[in-house]
Amino acid sequence: MFRIPTEMKVLTGSAHRVLAERICAYIGVPLGDATVTSFPDGETFVKINENIRGRDVFIVQPSCPPTNQNLMEMLIMVDAVRRASAARITAVIPFFGYARQDRKDQPRVPITAKLIANLLTAAGVNRVLTMDLHAQQVAGFFDIPVDHLYAAPVIVRELHRRDFEKPVVVSPDVGGLKMASSYAENMGAGLAIVAKRRKSATETEALNVIGDVEGHDVILVDDLTETAGTLTSAAKILKERGARRVIACVSHAVISDLGAERLRDSALEELITTNSVPVREVPGFQVTSLCISELLGEGMKRIHDDESVSSLFEISKKTKL
């Protein structure tokens, strides 16, 4: 049976070089030498500056803002690597942009997540490694293997270090209830949910709290925040219902200017997130960033060695990454 050669090469674009360097430090391989720059007219230019013929190549590039620029960099890098005769190409996309456009929920709109999957496959990607897709069915849009990791083991390990007074894990909407239930079960905490109504793409309204939060420390969990509308409106109603304090945990913090403003003025005490994207500092508000280099690095090592990545899904304070 065909076996990928033993040598691994890790490359990165300009989206999150620091994360790629930390992954390489964990794996114990140097970051590959590649030139990624732009022409004066904005076109992306890529050149791989070392031999990758027959190598097992991993390209680390989250599709965070500027989303389209970073996505094009990934596609062009894949094409360059494929034409340089790499044996296998794995796209490591810690944050998969466009995952929210996963269905045709209005007339005459695209399913952009499927389009991005097609583009990556057409460019020459053989495998995808990603984390906390906004909608898990996006993994099924690919006709190539997708390893879908979760930030929960990293975040829960941090939560176990904290002291909480009667903790309750809260999902800010119905869609996140399964994730919140998993956190609550591991922490031995209560579970509640906030019912919300979305007014627009940037504004939501919290309507009610289902569950007991009075006198409890509340941990809001979600996969993604950008404008922070869902989190801050949920925090407001939770405090109104008697929550002792409210913190939020999200896998991806793609914080916009509006999001930073809302966080500063919110009832939230802290936002715990990962460095799946470059984490923005919010003056006057506590943002705690947890490093996922070991999680992704371990996933990459196991893919390279044809080992199972299933154990990386386990949520346990004893989990060793």
Cβ atoms of 218 and 247 closer than 8 Å: yes
Q: Is the peptide bond before 66 cis (omega within 30 degrees of 0)?
A: yes
How far apart are the C-alpha atoms of 83 and 60, rounded to whole Å? 18
Give, as one character, the DSSP assignment of residue 17: H
Q: Name which of 258, 244, 138, 271 is nearest 190 in CA terms.
A: 244
Cβ contact 12:44 at 8 Å = no
Structure tokens at 104: 């045709």
9 annotated active-site: no
Tokens found for residue 154:
């990293």
Question: How many Å apart are CA 25 and CA 293, to the nearest integer?
Answer: 9
Catalytic residue from among 9, 104, 166, 196? 196
Q: With 0-12 CB in 10 A as exposed, 13-18 as middle and 19+ as buried, what is 2?
A: exposed
| CA dist., res. 205 & res. 134, Å (int) | 20
Burial 212-244 (b: 16+ CB within 10 A, else e): ebeebbbbbbbbbbbbbbbbbbbbbbbbebebb
Residues whose CB falls within 8 Å of the CB of residue 261, separated by 6 or more in sequence, listed in order: none
**Catalytic positions, please?**
196
